[in-house]
Amino acid sequence: MPSLIDMRRRIRSVRNTQQITKAMKMVSAAKLRRAQDKAIAARPYAAMLRQILANVAEAAAQSPDSGDNALLAVRPEKRILMLVISADRGLAGGFNGNLLRMALRFAQTHSSEELTFELAGKKARDFFRKRNVRISGEYIDLFRTVKFEDAERIADSIIERYAKAEIDAVYLFVNEFKSVIAANLATTKLLPLEVPQQASHGTGTGQTADYIYEQSPGEILATLLPRYIKTQIYRALLESAAAEHAARMTAMEAATKNASEMIDKLTLTMNRVRQASITREIIEIVSGAAAL
């Protein structure tokens, strides 16, 4: 049976932990609002860019001098690059674990291919460093303030390698923000680009928008394709940041609740120990008085 001093120390320790988890929940809740607004605001831009890309690609396909674009080249997927976007910190429930397990299952399924990893976030870096895989790039401390320049840096490296035929396909693994209590694990094929069909991504009537081109559609397409990839990666960073704050807020709320329940149980146990101690002292006093 633990002593009263031990019980009081344990209750004090749990209460201090509860204060920390409560503070972390409040910080994540404050950050979530801004991150959520940014992630949601980026979705219409990405959708519109995809629609424009479909229109320009259709016009370029009808132009005899458009030429071939390296980002549209389709090759057998023998050399695959996996871009995994995780968090820099833990204490977010299953946010990192679920994502990394999904990426690991993909790697095991494609073990016969030559796999290369681009890792964004300390958790992904630490996880795959221990598994003896080929890592071509590491990006950390991106989520304090998500910047488009960081997405450009990642995208430029990937685009250059794909254009030089050093890799045959690029897959993106990320937690997309769905709601405060849930994230959506997403696997997206970034390269080769699958240009959307105008029939399903057009004006709603299945008709191509009537653009007037100053440059040739092929030149515009060559500019739009890298921009589209950078936008996709930037949006993935924003989605991951929002999903991380939501997961941490939920996890810290559950931890705070568990701490409250533990404090109640420890307090009850401490009262029982104190009652037993008082009863024992009374018995000793009565026994001593009777002996006298």
For residue range 117-136, list pLDDT tens digits in order: 999 999 999 999 999 899 99
**Largest pairwise CA distance in the chain:** 117
| Residues 6 or more apart in contact with residue 49 via CB below 8 angstroms | 224, 227, 228, 231
Average pLDDT of the residues of the chain: 86
Report whether 174 contacts 186 (CB < 8 A).
yes
H helices, E strands: number in the chain: 5, 5
For residue range 11-58, list pLDDT tens digits in order: 999 999 999 999 999 999 989 988 999 999 998 988 888 888 877 877
- Per-residue pLDDT at 204 exceeds 80: no
Percent of the chain with pLDDT over 70: 91
Q: What is 29-250's CATH superfamily?
A: ATP synthase, F1 complex, gamma subunit (3.40.1380.10)
- How many other β-carbons are positioned within 10 Å of the β-carbon of residue 9? 12
Report whether 245 contacts 93 (CB < 8 A).
no
Please report, in angstroms and rounded to a whole number, the separation of the first and last CA atoms in the chain: 31
**Residue 69 in tokens:** 């674009």
pTM: 0.82
Q: Residue 221 — pLDDT band, cuts 50, 70, 90?
A: confident
**pLDDT number for residue 211:** 67
Of 279 and 209, more confident: 279
**pLDDT number for residue 55:** 78
Once rounded to an integer, what is the mean pLDDT over residues 55-68? 68
Cα separations (Å) of 164 from 114, 157, 204?
A: 16, 11, 37
Domain ranges of the chain: 29-250
- Per-residue pLDDT at 231 exceeds 80: yes
- Per-residue pLDDT at 103 exceeds 70: yes
Q: Residue 1 — pLDDT band, cuts 50, 70, 90?
A: low
Report whether 162 contacts 70 (CB < 8 A).
yes
| Residues 6 or more apart in contact with residue 151 via CB below 8 angstroms | 230, 231, 233, 234, 237
**pLDDT number for residue 201:** 41
| Residues 6 or more apart in contact with residue 59 via CB below 8 angstroms | 208, 211, 213, 217
For residue range 168-201, list pLDDT tens digits in order: 999 999 999 988 888 889 999 988 877 655 544 4
Strands ordered across the beta sheet of 79-85: 135-139, 114-120, 79-85, 169-179, 182-191
Query: Which of 104, 103, 108, 112 is closest to 78 using CA atoms?
Result: 112
Q: One-letter amino acid identity for 79?
A: R
Report whether 108 contacts 114 (CB < 8 A).
no
**pLDDT number for residue 51:** 82
